[in-house]
Structure 1
Amino acid sequence: MSTDTILELVKAREGISSNVRDTYLLAIIDGVIQELENEKSIALDEKDANHLMFVVDYTSWRYNNRDSDDMPRHLRYRLHNLIIQYREVPVDELE
């Protein structure tokens, strides 16, 4: 996924026009992508708008709620659907 595109969309959503928070936002974006790919085993597709917007929304939520672990219901629901539809099944589980 293009972190530059995600960064611009997060900044637009948050109303951020300067580059002052870019380093922090990029760290959150990288963490979100790694979590989805490595921990949740979701095969993110760069061309899928649903994947892109989920990463943007999840990053935005993380940015605004750094002290809260309670993910909003709409994000949990979308994450659950991504896991069901796009989870990569390891080869050893297929046998």
Structure 2
Amino acid sequence: MDVTTAVELVKERLGIRTAVRDTYLKAIVEGVIKELEDEKGVALDDANSYHLLFICDYATWRYQSRDSSGAMPRHLQFRLHNLMIHAGKGP
């Protein structure tokens, strides 16, 4: 998965125009990708825009909720379950 593109999209979503938080955002995006591949069993496809947008949305939520203990939003849970089902892993 193209981490650079994902980081740029996350920055756009958050309205960040500088490179000050790039290292932190890159770590979040890489962590999300690793989690999806290793823990959830999702085979991410660079050419699949659905996968890229899910990574961006998930990373954005992680960034915004870093200091809270709230549950993952329902729309992210639903999309994650769909990705896992398509990967044959089930929720």
Q: Which residue of 2 aligns with 1:33?
A: 33
What do the CA deviations read for 1:7-45 (whole angstroms, capped 9, x no partner)? 110000000000000000001001000000000010000
Structure 1 segments, 4+ long, off by >6 Å, are none
User: Is the deviation greater in 66-75 or in 7-16?
Assistant: 66-75
RMSD of equivalent CA atoms? 1.1
- The TM-score normalised by the length of structure 2 is 0.93
> 1:69 Cα shift?
4.3
Q: Which residue of 1 aligns with 2:54?
A: 54
Q: How many pairs align? A: 88
Q: Which residue of 1 aligns with 2:69?
A: 68
Percent of aligned pairs sharing the same letter: 56
In 1, Cα distance between the equivalents of 2:52 and 2:87? 14
- The structure with the largest alpha-carbon Rg is 1
What do the CA deviations read for 1:33-70 (whole angstroms, capped 9, x no partner)? 00000000100001001000000000000000012240
SS at match of 1:19: coil
